[in-house]
């Protein structure tokens, strides 16, 4: 099954989870548990904690599936963000419990999140990138999105789009130059 078909299957399953379909949650779990467990384990570094976090992730997916918007993010991106955030929360909670320092010291703990103006600037950059991508020809958009967002090789893209490999490389190169000019 190709990447796009997997993405659609997962997006459909999440949409059905939002309606209370337990079978859809099982499908979502089956398709994503290995990847999400890897994310949790990499952050938590303890198998038991990663398993607990993974369980919390799927509980949150069950409760928040209606908030998933496939127009804003791919299903895996959405799920990985949930897993990552849950795992980081667990590590922070564990660290805070171990530290056990006075509450007065909490004001001295730096906030690692970006400042509001940095987040706004990043959102503007993202919107500019999407506007520039939308300005490309359809075949250039497909080629760029496949190569850089989905991780598909040039050779596979050329086969999918029924063009020679050299043509695919030229499309991607020209599209990158157009993006650079648009963003520049």
Query: How confident is the model at residue 80, as a pLDDT?
Result: 93
Query: How confident is the model at residue 108, as a pLDDT?
Result: 64
In the block, tokens 């993974």 appear at 54
Q: What CATH number did the domain enclosing 148 receive?
A: 1.10.10.10
Q: Which residues of the chain have pLDDT under 50?
A: none
* Co-location of 81 and 168 in the same domain: no
User: DSSP readout, 155-179?
Assistant: HHHHHHTT--HHHHHHHHHHHHHHH
User: Is residue 111 included in any domain, yes or no?
Assistant: no
Query: How confident is the model at residue 42, as a pLDDT?
Result: 92
Query: How confident is the model at residue 102, as a pLDDT?
Result: 57
* Co-location of 88 and 121 in the same domain: no
User: Is residue 108 included in any domain, yes or no?
Assistant: no
CA 174/CA 60 separation, integer angstroms: 42
Query: How confident is the model at residue 106, as a pLDDT?
Result: 57
* Co-location of 22 and 83 in the same domain: yes
Query: How confident is the model at residue 4, as a pLDDT?
Result: 85
Asked if 82 contacts 38 with a C-beta cutoff of 8 angstroms, the reply is no
In the block, tokens 């007065």 appear at 104
Range of the domain at 175: 116-183
User: Is residue 110 included in any domain, yes or no?
Assistant: no
* Co-location of 81 and 11 in the same domain: yes
Q: Domain count of the chain? A: 2
User: Is residue 173 included in any domain, yes or no?
Assistant: yes
């Amino acid at each position: 099954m190709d990447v796009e078909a997997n993405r659609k299957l997962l997006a459909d399953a999440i949409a059905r989870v939002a309606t209370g379909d337990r079978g859809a949650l099982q499908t979502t779990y089956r398709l994503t548990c290995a990847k999400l467990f890897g994310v949790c384990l990499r952050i938590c570094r303890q198998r038991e904690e990663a398993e607990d976090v993974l369980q919390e992730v799927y509980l949150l997916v069950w409760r928040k599936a209606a908030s998933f918007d496939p127009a804003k993010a791919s299903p895996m991106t959405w799920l990985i963000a949930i897993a990552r955030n849950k795992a980081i929360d667990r590590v922070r909670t564990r660290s805070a419990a171990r530290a056990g320092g006075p509450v007065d010291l909490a004001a001295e703990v730096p906030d690692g999140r970006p400042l509001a103006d940095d987040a706004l600037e990043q959102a503007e950059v993202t919107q500019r990138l999407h506007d520039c991508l939308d300005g490309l020809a359809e075949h250039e958009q497909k080629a760029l999105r496949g190569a850089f967002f989905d991780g598909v090789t040039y050779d596979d893209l050329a086969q999918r789009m029924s063009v020679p490999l050299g043509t695919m490389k030229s499309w991607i190169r020209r599209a990158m130059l157009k993006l650079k000019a648009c963003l520049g």
